[in-house]
């Protein structure tokens, strides 16, 4: 099977699993929260795999935080971490 046919098959499976009621509900949610019209909301939902949260954030101009922040550690944890690194050498 070619790559395009596999992708087309997976797209059809995804569309079949999403009933029209859910899609319409998501379109209404996006339209209420953004300035998108029906067709724009539908197009954006299709591009974002029907994830209305992503569509709303994109519509409002909210940037996604792709960089993971380092875990917050106490001063003592930091000291012992450095000691362990030093002793492991």
Domain-wise residue ranges, the chain? 3-88
Q: What is the Cα–Cα distance from 68 to 50, expressed in whole angstroms?
A: 25
Q: What is the Cα–Cα distance from 28 to 51, expressed in whole angstroms?
A: 13
Q: What is the Cα–Cα distance from 89 to 71, expressed in whole angstroms?
A: 24
pLDDT tens for 48-86 read: 999 999 999 999 988 877 667 778 889 999 999 999 999
Q: What is the Cα–Cα distance from 32 to 30, expressed in whole angstroms?
A: 5
Mean pLDDT in residue range 11-33: 80
Both tokens of residue 62?
């909210």
The whole-model pTM stands at 0.54
């Amino acid at each position: 099977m070619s790559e395009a046919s596999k992708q087309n098959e997976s797209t059809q499976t995804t569309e079949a699993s999403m009933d029209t009621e859910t899609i319409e509900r998501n379109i209404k949610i996006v339209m209420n929260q953004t300035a998108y019209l029906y067709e724009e909301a539908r197009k954006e939902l299709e591009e974002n795999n029907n994830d209305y949260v992503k569509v709303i954030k994109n519509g409002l101009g909210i940037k996604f935080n792709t960089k993971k922040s380092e875990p917050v550690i106490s001063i003592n944890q930091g000291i012992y971490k450095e000691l362990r690194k030093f002793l492991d050498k």
